[in-house]
Amino acid sequence: MNRTFKYVLLSAVVIAQSVHAQQTRAFKPVTTQMLVNPSPNDWLMYSRTYDAQRFSPLKQITKDNVAGLKEVFKKEFAAGNQESIPIVYDGVMYVMLPGATVQALDATNGSVLWEHKRPSGATRAKALAIYDDMVFYTAPDTPDNTIVALDARTGAVRWETKSSGNLTSGAIVVEGKVLSGRTCRERRTTRRPARKRGASIPRRVTTTRGALRGQARRWPAGWRPRGVWPAGTTRSAG
């Protein structure tokens, strides 16, 4: 057995032990109260809090020491658009990658704990959500879009449900319901699958493009509320 093979074998064993430890350690389910008042150490939704402040209360990095920050790890993604915001819970970072892939990473060193990849290879959603012991992903499958619940510890599919429209905005969980925004030609709707089973609750139309165009006529010239854009235009996350 040569030295190179021994090194590769040892590396594989260490990785397997790390993944096994991650999968088997106690996992504390994410609750509604944790989403409402998250720990400073966690980033449980794309804007961190429901009021979308995107502000971290951590105080370790200050204006006095920021110049001394050093790279701890670097992870390169495959080619493609990257518009999502990672979520972080209990030292694990959940990220969406180009190629319809979700990965769980050890946030201290970037090592991959698990990976879930959709067959479509298309990536359009901008946010993951976490609740209970599941990570929720709006997958742009073809020909249908799919809301997928992944086991937060292993990445295994717990349930998935088909959805109409284009799932590009990602998901958010409110009081145990997974909310997903999408566009459906002349309507913008939300669908609320029950988080445990994935059963879809009847959709509720929130607004229409026609109504938005009518409202736009009353706005000052050149001004448009955040999040409302003319038909046919695109924008990045945020």
pLDDT digits (tens, 9 = 90+) for 75-96: 888 887 778 889 999 999 999 9
pLDDT on residue 226: 52
Average pLDDT, the chain: 76
Contact 78, 97 (CB under 8 A): yes
Cβ distance 178 to 193 under 8 Å? yes
Beta strands in the chain (DSSP E): 87-89, 92-97, 101-106, 112-117, 129-131, 134-139, 145-151, 157-163, 171-174, 177-184, 187-193, 200-208
pLDDT at 194 over 50: yes
DSSP code for 43? B
Q: Are strands 129-131 and 171-174 parallel, antiparallel or unpaired?
A: unpaired
**Burial letters for 55-83: b for 16+ Cβ neighbours within 10 Å, e otherwise?**
eeeeeeeeeeeeeeeeeeeeeeeeeeeeb
Q: Which domains does the chain have, with CATH numbers?
A: 27-53+75-216 (2.40.128.630)
Does residue 164 surpass a pLDDT of 70?
A: yes
> How many Å separate Cα 62 from the centre of its chain?
28
Q: Beta strands 87-89 and 92-97: pairing type?
A: antiparallel
Lowest mean pLDDT among 101-115, 118-132, 150-164: 118-132
By the 8 A CB rule, do 154 and 171 touch?
no
Please name which of 35, 31, 12 lies closest in space to residue 133, comparing C-alpha atoms. 31
Residue 189 has pLDDT above 80, yes or no: no
The conformation of residue 36, written as its DSSP 8-state character, comes to: H
Instruction: State percent of the chain over pLDDT 90.
Output: 42
Q: Which two tokens stand for residue 93?
A: 């970072």
Least confident of 71-80, 100-109, 161-170, 211-220: 211-220
Q: How many beta carbons lie within 10 A of that of residue 112, not counting itself?
A: 14
**210 three-class SS:** helix
Confidence of residue 114 (pLDDT cuts 50, 70, 90): very high
Query: Percent of the chain scored above 70 by pLDDT?
Result: 63
Q: What is the mean predicted confidence (pLDDT) over 153-169?
A: 86
Most confident of 17-21, 69-73, 143-147, 192-196: 69-73
pLDDT of residue 228: 46
- What pLDDT shows up at residue 237? 39
User: Is pLDDT of 150 > 50?
Assistant: yes
What pLDDT, on a 0 to 100 scale, did the predictor assign at position 196? 61
Taking the C-alpha atoms of residue 98 and residue 79, their distance in angstroms, rounded to an integer, is 7
**Span of 89-93, 124-128, 202-206, 220-224 with lowest mean pLDDT:** 202-206
* Tens digits of residue pLDDT in 26-70: 899 999 999 999 999 999 999 999 999 999 999 999 999 999 999
Identify which has the larger pLDDT, 233 or 32: 32
